Chains A and B, each alone.
Chain A
Amino acid sequence: MKYKSISTFADLLGECELQEVTIFDIAQKNEANLDDIKVNEFRKIVKKSLNAMQDAVKSGLKSKEMSLSGMCGDDCSRLKSFYSDSHALFGTIFEKIVTYALAISEENLRMGKIVACPTAGSCAIVPSVLIAVSEEKNISEKSQIDALITAGEIGRIVSNKVSLAGAVAGCQAECGVASAMSAAALTQLLGGTPRQILNAVALALKNLLGLTCDPVCGLVEIPCVKRNAFLAVHAVTACELALANVESKIPVDEVVDAMEQTGKLMSPMLKESSQAGLAKTKTAVRLEKSLRK
């Protein structure tokens, strides 16, 4: 299979259907080719990220140390003890996803080791779903690597059009894209077709357009930590709709265009500058004053 430059989702789907392969097949060959390494060497690098994600879950679950600011850090432990005597309405996979999401996010803000995926603020959305579902369904490491490559390919294509930075395009470009990547990973994990995977991406992203970045005190804590848990679950909804062959009426490339435009139109006050939104609420201003002391 020869290297073919892929810059849109339409290119990617076309190539998958032409060669009758799935997204990670194309993606890993192209990446190995670009970096001048073998496919299995590329997969080793991906495995390293996967293993670091698993480690982050483990250490996150054990700790309730607060962040440097003292604002967040003990919510995962709260959730764990809640689930220890009453079960989630949506079952144990749901429990694991939200618990893992908080575990990783909190590990991030207490300066623990995480994998930026695509960014540090959105680091829990892909791994929480990927790891929780794989554990519950006994999915092999090989398949998890396939899924993570799929997620990476989605992020890569989006990032070549829109910068994945809250300061440039708001949180839709960080946690929003992470949720779309997570939906793609899960759809791959559950055996979806390339078409279904890209539908899941479109559905997830479409429903997060306009998400602003207004972190309290300018820190990656409020609303970021809990947002990771919400958008992990969001990814599952997108995946299940896609597996049922529900189609996004707006094709995924056009959703990305809409995201780019929305990011441009979004006020700079709502793009990581903490000058509006949640960051300027009465309580946020009070928190900011107490942190300055």
Chain B
Amino acid sequence: MRQSSIIDIISPIMVGPSSSHTAGAVRLGLLARHVFNSHIRKIKFRLYNSYATTGKGHGTDKGLLSGILGLGVDDTRIKNIFGSDIAQHIEYSFEYMEDFNRHPNAVDFIIEGKDLKMTISGESIGAGEVVIRKINDFNVKITGHYNTLLILYKDSVGIISTVTTLIQKEHVNIASMSCDRSGKGQIASMCISLDGELNEKIVDVCQYIKHVHLVRYIKKLES
């Protein structure tokens, strides 16, 4: 486990009222924005359990939308985000659900762009810490603590080593890695957390690897 530091204790500077329900919601929105990484036309937020029942009073809905629009946790525009100029060009709606199989503070982002659709699921796990757990049907783990390379590809021999070799050549250390696939030879996902910065060129190179469908380089969030 990551030990906390003094800075963790006397920060973040954030808009209230709750680190898990407000700041956590903004951070989840920001991560989802980076995962989608394309113009968002329409978005549905599906809030579960405690996020659904106490979300309004904690501004969770405002936080999620603000994150999607790229605002940071300390941005005072969060409070009046609904109906603001920045939210004008996006069609958004909210759904509230109860599901005991899901985390108490869980949310799904159902996003539509010009020719891309994605469902991203995340959880706010306490003290402002968050995790993106699923993208479409794939299990991933994106916390915002590391720069993360996410790749969706058609499962085939050698892809994982091609990617890790590229990273190795850049002298960047891999902090952790997780892979998931729907079945042999079908679509798979690879999620690599990195200790350093990856050259954007490598990200471009990954796009051209045979069988790769989608590449995202998700920068770590400011704490």
Residues of A within 8 A of B (CB): 27, 31, 34-35, 42, 45-46, 48-49, 52, 67-69, 107-121, 123, 126, 148-149, 151-153, 155-156, 159-160, 163-165, 167-168, 181, 217-221, 291
Contact = CB atoms under 8 A, between A and B. Distances in A.
A114 B53 contact: no
B4 interface: yes
Contacts of B17: 67, 108-111, 120-121, 219-221
Decide if the interface of chain A is mainly helix, strand, loop or mixed.
Answer: helix
A31 B6 CA distance: 7
Contact of B4 (A107, A159, A291): A159
A159 B127 CA distance: 12
Given A46-B10, A156-B6, A163-B126, A114 B16 contact: yes
13 contacts: A35-B7, A48-B13, A68-B59, A113-B14, A115-B10, A115-B11, A120-B18, A152-B10, A156-B5, A218-B54, A219-B17, A219-B57, A291-B57
For the complex of A and B, 8 pairs with smallest distance between CB atoms: A108-B16, A152-B6, A155-B9, A218-B54, A111-B79, A109-B17, A52-B13, A219-B57
A221 B13 CA distance: 19
B126 A167 contact: yes
A149 B11 contact: no
Interface string B36-73: 00000000000000100110111100100000000000
B161 to A, nearest CB: 31
A160 B4 contact: yes
B13 A111 contact: no
B126 A160 contact: no
A152 B6 CA distance: 5
Contacts of A34: 5
Contacts of B13: 48-49, 52, 113-115
A218 B53 contact: yes
B8 interface: yes
B10 A31 contact: no
A42 to B, nearest CB: 8
Contacts of B142: none
Interface centre among A34, A48, A217, A219 (most CB of B within 10 A): A219
B191 interface: no
B76 A116 contact: no
B193 interface: no
Question: Which of B18, B54, B56, B78: most chain A CB closer than 10 A?
Answer: B18
A126 B50 CA distance: 28
Nearest to B76: A113
A118 B11 CA distance: 7
Contact of B9 (A112, A156, A168): A156
B12 A115 contact: yes
Interface in B59-102: 59, 62, 74, 76, 78-79
Contacts of A27: 6
Contacts of B5: 31, 34-35, 156
A113 B10 contact: no
A159 B3 CA distance: 8
Contacts of B19: 116, 119-120
B144 interface: no
B122 interface: no
Interface in B16-39: 16-19, 22-23
A152 B57 contact: no
Contacts of B127: 116, 119, 163-165
B15 interface: yes
A165 B18 CA distance: 11
Nearest to A59: B76
Given A68-B56, A291-B57, A165 B126 contact: yes
Contacts of A291: 57
B12 to A, nearest CB: 6
Contacts of A67: 17, 57
Contacts of B7: 31, 35, 42, 45-46, 152
A113 B17 CA distance: 9
Contacts of A46: 6-7, 10
A121 B4 CA distance: 19
Nearest to B129: A165
Contact of A218 (B12, B15, B50): B50
Contacts of B53: 218
Contacts of B56: 68
Contacts of A115: 10-14
Given A116-B127, A120-B23, A218-B53, 14 more contacts: A31-B6, A45-B7, A111-B15, A111-B17, A112-B76, A114-B13, A117-B9, A118-B10, A153-B6, A155-B6, A159-B9, A219-B58, A220-B16, A291-B57
Contacts of A152: 6-7, 9-10
